[in-house]
Amino acid sequence: MTLEESIRTRALELGFDGCRFTTAAPPQSAPRFQDWLRRGRAGSMTWMGRSAERRLDPQKVLPGAKSLVVVSAAYRAPAKGPWERGETSLVSHPVGYIAAYARYDDYHEILKPGLRELVRLINALGGPGAHSLAYTDTGPILERDFAQRAGLGFIGKHTNLISRRAGNWTLLGEVLTTVALQPDAPEHNRCGRCVRCMQVCPTQAIVAPFELDAQRCISYLTIEFKGAIPEPLRPALGTRVFGCDDCLAVCPWNRFAREGAILRRCFRGNLENASLLPLLGLDDEGFRRLFSGTPVERTGRVRLLRNVCVALGNAGDLAAVPALRKASRETDPLIAEHAAWALRRLGA
């Protein structure tokens, strides 16, 4: 077998759903990314600006890099979500919506062993002096750009990667290496005239095709953002307490989606329908017990309860008033302020 065939075969044996190759040349989207940063679209994610120079040149991450091996792992599409049940039924379904990828063990830990194995294999095949680094959403690499150039999928108008085999429900990992590998053909954009993802976004965060304003994005607001959620945007959150799948879920390419093997064994079914009131009652120990080892753990109890307060205010269930009154007396001001807002929204 060729080097490429050996690596791809091993990647599939390890449970990855796709494995393709591209060069370590700078991503073509560099000007767009720099403009995105200049416009302040990254919000409080200042680390993206600090690492911008490395993100735009793989040589600054790994001197002598020649290739990237990009792998994918498909996860389960959500059975239902706010985009299809609508605000009118939130009272009868007072559950907190958790993004589909976060209903698993932490994907960083799931993909890491396989990526390390690929590093060992690539270094061995490359011979003396070969050096490789593995990342999964952890390093200064514009991974979706390289995934498109490697042919794993194309970046849609919502700025996420779309796979013709797995739809929108795909996680990525990459190995940056000094070993020269034959690049695969890139994928081309296949959105056509479709703008469903732009139309469905509750906060109009997709301000133009292929341009996301993170400061309006519900995933950013409920996961990355550490402050008080802007009041004008709170009603649009509905009952989403960690992330948002709306723009992903409406994509027509999802008709080909299927869950891959590497993630299937790590699914946390108890996170599909997490009742809001029990979530609001979580103390530190209860939070760790429920979310330990999942992506939600990184956000922490305080920010999750901030989101839960907003969700309860939007759900319209007056049974939440006693719990919200208790939360409004929390010592943490972030929880207390959002609980007070929820009470006002409920007319209490």
Asked if residue 148 has pLDDT above 50, the reply is: yes
pLDDT per position as a tens digit, 52-79: 899 999 999 999 999 999 999 999 988 7
The Cα–Cα gap between 3 and 241 comes to 45
Asked if residue 100 has pLDDT above 70, the reply is: yes
**pLDDT tier for residue 81 given thresholds of 50, 70 and 90:** low
pLDDT of residue 87: 44
The tokens describing 306, both together, are 């901030």
Arithmetic mean of pLDDT, 295-301? 96
Residue 115 is classified by DSSP as H
pLDDT per position as a tens digit, 303-318: 999 999 999 999 998 9
Residue 329: count other Cβ atoms within 10 Å of its Cβ. 10
Closest CA to 251 of 202, 186, 199, 211: 199
* Cα 87–chain centre separation: 24
What counts of helices (H) and strands (E) characterise the chain?
Answer: 17, 11
In a 3-state reduction of DSSP, which class is residue 140? coil
Closest CA to 74 of 267, 219, 311, 332: 267
How high does pLDDT run on average in the chain? 93
The Cα–Cα gap between 276 and 294 comes to 18
Arithmetic mean of pLDDT, 207-213? 96
Percentage of the chain exceeding pLDDT 70: 96
Active site (catalytic) residues: 137
pLDDT of residue 85: 47
Asked if residue 171 has pLDDT above 90, the reply is: yes
pLDDT of residue 88: 37
Residue 225: count other Cβ atoms within 10 Å of its Cβ. 20
pLDDT of residue 84: 53
The Cα–Cα gap between 130 and 127 comes to 6
The tokens describing 240, both together, are 């989403």
**pLDDT tier for residue 273 given thresholds of 50, 70 and 90:** confident
Q: Where are the domains of the chain?
A: 1-77+107-219+247-269
pLDDT per position as a tens digit, 40-53: 999 999 888 888 89
* Torsion angles phi and psi, residue 60, rounded to 5: -85, -10
pLDDT of residue 139: 86
pLDDT of residue 50: 87
